[in-house]
A and B are shown apart, each in its own frame.
Chain A
Amino acid sequence: MTLKGAAAITGIAEMKPAKRQEGLTGIAMAADIAIRCIADAGLTKDDVDGLVTELAFGNPTALIDTLNVHPNWAHGVHMMGASGATAVAAAAAAIHAGYANNVLCIVATQTQDDVPAGGPGLDPDYMQQFIAPYGPVAAANGYYALVAQRHKDIFGTSDEQRAKVAVDQRFNAQANPDAMFYGTPIELDDVLNSRMIADPLRILECVMPVMGAAAVMVQRADRAKDGPNKPAYVLGVGQHTDHDQIAHAQDMLTTPIAVSSKRAYEMAGVGPTDMNMLSLYDCYTITVIVSLEDAGFCEKGEGGAFVQSTSLRYDGDLPTNTHGGQLSFSQPGLAGGMSHVVESARQMMGRAGDRQVPVLDYCFVNG
């Protein structure tokens, strides 16, 4: 009855992120990635009968004329950083429901102007009345600084423990030539001495916002083996929403992952100890720490100690964000979340090159 095993990721394509994607409109960027993804899956455009998009500049139909595809099912997602993962979940559900067989999922930014100044998804009326007058931090940095500060005050999570997340992700990026910070490894002190943005978060604990696009092809499981890549089967899915404004979270130190991960594990019939690799949304170091707690890898409050004593490197105890994470790969807007999906699929396909995780039965992906 559930969609366990109904669909698989069979193709990937990702733009090398850049501060500016010169000479390209949003549609051109997205279309180029879409075409590369279709080819990567060993398909033609006429095979694409489903389309799920999160495009900063338009609806799914924005791509129809450029790509000349005619899906029987097109669907826009607007879940901010969770759009990439949600797109795959929606595609798998559509396949399971019989709406389509070969669903292209694509997430793309256009220009930095497309990302609202206060961070995406925030209610402008709430912002102007209850946030702006008090001097919030640039972009989303302040909200996660609030989480990091309370995590520090309540659980004693140290700056060094958070910094280790950044250091391990940066190590991973040294094996990813597409990462923005390829070629610039860092140590703990580099993080601890970097510029303070909003106490306690320093700049090396925050993502660099850039432009880009990424796509995956999700196909019906019984066709997945026909393609050129080893399929990455979608076995479990969970989603949960707790709040819009972080001030109104029931408990700011527990994320919706506490619910969504359980739902995904249950559907797949596995648990945290079965995971060989993790992809955890890392807009900031603190999000990796609370994600590990909420996804069952350690107790609530122990995430700092866990990352301190666990190697998150691609060759370590618990490979996490092997592409460098968004912290070291960069955050190409909404496509940042999709980078976790793409890297997970890349790894499952055995195409991760120098950063390949050797034994890979299960990968946990969080957007």
Chain B
Amino acid sequence: MAEYAKPVPTPNPVSAPFWESAKAHALKVQRCVPGQHWFFYPRLRCPFCHTQDIDWVEVSGKGRVYTYTVVYRPQSSEFEEDVPYVFAVVELEESPNLRMYTNVDDVSLDDIKSEMPVTIKYDDVTADTTLVKFVPA
């Protein structure tokens, strides 16, 4: 298999559980215990009540495209071979505070639209790294 040339994430101790759950194909995100507040991106404290009493909770994997763009001029040259492709913000169904940058694959450029229902596609780009992407639901 050709070596993956695109950037891969370097987790930190706070975000490691997120990336491990992606690798396990069972995505987990943070939800605080006292307020039950879902939030993303991974942090030490709940942004709503500032507590450190936080659980990692598995999500359904379902969501909607909050918005997207079709990329013609990528930041990094490694993505030029994929142009045009979809770079999006997807909102998970559990909460509007669970929004993440991602790609939407297996969708025609005529069909992709804001509010489109999507579901997770785990992309095992290397032996160590799984990226969280989405496809039309």
Interface residues of A (CB under 8 A from B): 117-118, 125-126, 128-139, 141-142, 145-150, 153-154, 195-201, 245-248, 252
Interface flags, B63-103, vs A, CB<8A=1, else 0: 00011111111111001001011011100000001011111
Contacts of B15 in A (CB 8 A): 129
A147 and chain B: residue at smallest CB distance = B67
Docked CA distance A195–B72 (Å): 9
A134 adjacent to B131 (CB under 8 Å) = yes
Min CB distance, B133 to chain A, in Å? 8
A150 adjacent to B101 (CB under 8 Å) = no
Contacts of A136 in B (CB 8 A): 71, 74-75, 87, 101
Docked CA distance A126–B69 (Å): 20
Most chain-B CB neighbours within 10 Å: which of A117, A126, A245, A247?
A: A247
The interface size of chain B toward A, counting residues with CB under 8 Å, comes to: 40
Contact pick for B71, options A142, A147, A245, CB 8 Å? A142
Docked CA distance A135–B66 (Å): 17
Q: Do A137 and B8 form a contact, CB below 8 Å, given A142-B87, A150-B67? A: no
Can you identify 11 A-B contacts, CB atoms within 8 angstroms? A136-B74, A137-B69, A137-B74, A146-B87, A149-B68, A149-B114, A153-B113, A196-B72, A198-B71, A198-B87, A248-B97
Contacts of B9 in A (CB 8 A): 128-130, 132-133
A248 adjacent to B71 (CB under 8 Å) = no
Contacts of B97 in A (CB 8 A): 248
> Considering the complex, which residues of chain B in the window 107-137 have a beta carbon less than 8 Å from any beta carbon of chain A?
109, 113-115, 125, 131, 133
Docked CA distance A201–B67 (Å): 14
Q: Do A137 and B99 form a contact, CB below 8 Å, given A132-B7, A150-B114? A: no
Min CB distance, A163 to chain B, in Å? 17
A137-B73, A146-B68 provided; 15 other pairs, C-beta below 8 A?
A129-B11, A129-B15, A134-B131, A135-B79, A135-B82, A135-B85, A136-B71, A138-B74, A141-B73, A142-B75, A146-B69, A149-B67, A153-B67, A247-B99, A248-B97
B100 adjacent to A130 (CB under 8 Å) = yes
Contact pick for A247, options B8, B82, B100, CB 8 Å? B100
